[in-house]
Amino acid sequence: MIEAGVVGGSGYTGSELLRIILNHPEFELKFATSRSYSGERIGDILPSLERLTDQSFVSPSKEQLEGDLVFTAVPHTKAMEYVPYLVENCSTVVDLSADYRIPTREFEEVYGAQHSDPGRECIYGLTELNREKIAVSSFVANPGCFPTGACLSVLPLLEEDGVNRILFDSKTGISGAGAKPTESTHFPNVQEEVSPYNVTSHRHLSEMKMVVGGNNRDVYFTPHIIPSTRGILTTSHLFDVSLDEDEVFKLFKDYYDDDYFVRVKKDVPKLSSVRGSNFVDIGGFEIKEGRLVVVSAIDNLVKGAAGQAIQNANIMNNLDEKLGLDYAGLSP
Ligand SMILES: NC(=O)c1ccc[n+]([C@@H]2O[C@H](COP(=O)([O-])OP(=O)(O)OC[C@H]3O[C@@H](n4cnc5c(N)ncnc54)[C@H](OP(=O)(O)O)[C@@H]3O)[C@@H](O)[C@H]2O)c1
């Protein structure tokens, strides 16, 4: 068994990692940290995990951070406090924060913070794009939730003529903002609302540009919060596409033929089909007056975070990438 630890195990992505690790046939939970709940039983703090483990949260001090495989699921600028030690002392590390996804200088600009571990070598963990590199890496920067759904919805088109402008319009559930409530996630402020935010300048735009913005392609992104707990639905608009709808559909089918977690269908995808699962559903594929619309749906906490992190960890440890993840969503 591979001993797996989670730094930040009490948060939304951390508790999702625990849920998957505790059901994983090859991983065994070694530790989960929480500064607020150190010493308290995991099952008392996260009742959904009662019976699955008797372990307690530990503090994230160095002597606790032992394991073959460690996930960091802490806020941005905090992962860089742990990663240098973990990379030195554990065989494989997957960071779910933004600290290592984009080049250091860009990180410092976009996140307005100094990086204490600049230039560290790592692989960007969009599994379907970088599977071969992930397989030989010991440190992976797991992608952001928005970039995962958005980039997967256009990857097959990047070599096509005319794909010079992409607009991502995303709707996200509130768990994307983490476990701590804020004014913008307070129930009366989100219920029966659709709230656009950071409409031209969300931090994930830099990550999207890194992945799909080659050849001077213009990439735009506007996120919205919707009154749902999980899920990101992204409507991607591509202009001046020269293919027809059947050609686009075939392109996607062929491109993702070997990618178990990507389900390509002509129907427009639904959040309810992917909720709680590691699947990304991609569909739509309508073209009118040169504008192609592709829609993707993911669960932000699974394919957008913990699930993709486990998928990457499986690959880094030479395991079948489906292990611990091969289950359907919670529909309805
Ligand atoms: N939510 C999503 O949908 C999503 C998707 C993809 C990526 N991410 C990224 O994943 C990371 C975690 O997000 P989240 O939504 O799970 O956040 P969260 O719910 O706020 O959880 C944060 C976790 O980190 C711990 N923590 C906070 N500060 C820490 C520190 N200085 N040292 C050690 N532990 C610390 C917290 O516990 P204690 O304070 O008790 O220690 C908690 O367990 C973030 O970087 C986020 O951007 C989130």
Quote the tokens at residue 171: 């709707």
pLDDT digits (tens, 9 = 90+) for 50-105: 999 999 999 999 999 999 999 999 999 999 999 999 999 999 999 999 999 999 99
Cα separation, 182 vs 191, in Å, equals: 14
Tell how far the Cα of 311 is from the centroid of ligand 1, in angstroms.
19
Cα separation, 143 vs 146, in Å, equals: 8
75 in contact with ligand 1, CB cutoff 6 A: yes
Q: Return the ligand 1 atom nearest residue 35 CA.
A: 41
Cα separation, 48 vs 51, in Å, equals: 9
Place of tokens 């309805």: 332
CA atoms 26, 29, 33, 37: torsion sign:
positive
13 in contact with ligand 1, CB cutoff 6 A: yes
Domain 146-300 annotated CATH 3.30.360.10: yes
Q: Return the ligand 1 atom nearest residue 16 CA.
A: 16
What is the structure's pLDDT at 93? 98
| Beta pairing, strands 165-172 & 218-225 | parallel
312 in contact with ligand 1, CB cutoff 6 A: no
What is the structure's pLDDT at 276? 98
pLDDT digits (tens, 9 = 90+) for 236-282: 999 989 999 999 999 999 999 999 999 999 999 999 999 999 999 99
Q: Tell me the best of 74, 96, 228, 300 to mutate to test the pocket of ligand 1, counting ligand atoms within 8 Å of each CB and taking the most.
A: 74
Please check whether residue 300 is in contact with residue 147, taking contact to mean a CB–CB distance below 8 angstroms.
Answer: no
Tell how far the Cα of 34 is from the centroid of ligand 1, in angstroms.
10
149 in contact with ligand 1, CB cutoff 6 A: no
**Model confidence at 220: pLDDT above 90:** yes
* % of the chain surpassing 90 pLDDT: 97
Cα separation, 93 vs 101, in Å, equals: 14
Cα separation, 182 vs 189, in Å, equals: 10
Query: How high is the mean pLDDT of the chain?
Result: 97
Closest of 245, 311, 251 to residue 284, by C-alpha: 245
175 in contact with ligand 1, CB cutoff 6 A: yes
pLDDT digits (tens, 9 = 90+) for 235-247: 999 998 999 999 9
How many C-beta atoms surround the C-beta of residue 227 within 10 A?
A: 14
pLDDT digits (tens, 9 = 90+) for 108-131: 999 999 999 999 999 999 999 999
**Model confidence at 330: pLDDT above 90:** yes
At 272 the three-state DSSP class reads helix
Q: Return the ligand 1 atom nearest residue 179 CA.
A: 19
Place of tokens 């996804």: 101
Cα separation, 318 vs 295, in Å, equals: 32
Q: Return the ligand 1 atom nearest residue 8 CA.
A: 43
Q: Where are the domains of the chain?
A: 2-121, 146-300
Identity of residue 109? E
Cα separation, 204 vs 103, in Å, equals: 13
Query: What CATH code is assigned to 2-121?
Result: 3.40.50.720
**Model confidence at 223: pLDDT above 90:** yes
Q: b or e along 289-325 (b: 16 or more beta carbons within 10 Å of the residue's beta carbon)?
A: eeebbbbbbbbbbbbbbbbbbbbbbbbbbebebebbb
Query: Going by CA atoms, what residue is nearest to atom 14 of ligand 1?
Result: 178
Q: DSSP state, 258?
A: T
| Mean pLDDT within 181-196 | 93
Tell how far the Cα of 316 is from the centroid of ligand 1, in angstroms.
23
- The dihedral over CA atoms of 141, 146, 152, 158, expressed in degrees to the nearest 10, equals -90
61 in contact with ligand 1, CB cutoff 6 A: no
Identity of residue 29? L
Q: Which residues are catalytic?
A: 145
What is the structure's pLDDT at 332? 86
**Model confidence at 32: pLDDT above 90:** yes
Tell how far the Cα of 73 is from the centroid of ligand 1, in angstroms.
5
72 in contact with ligand 1, CB cutoff 6 A: no
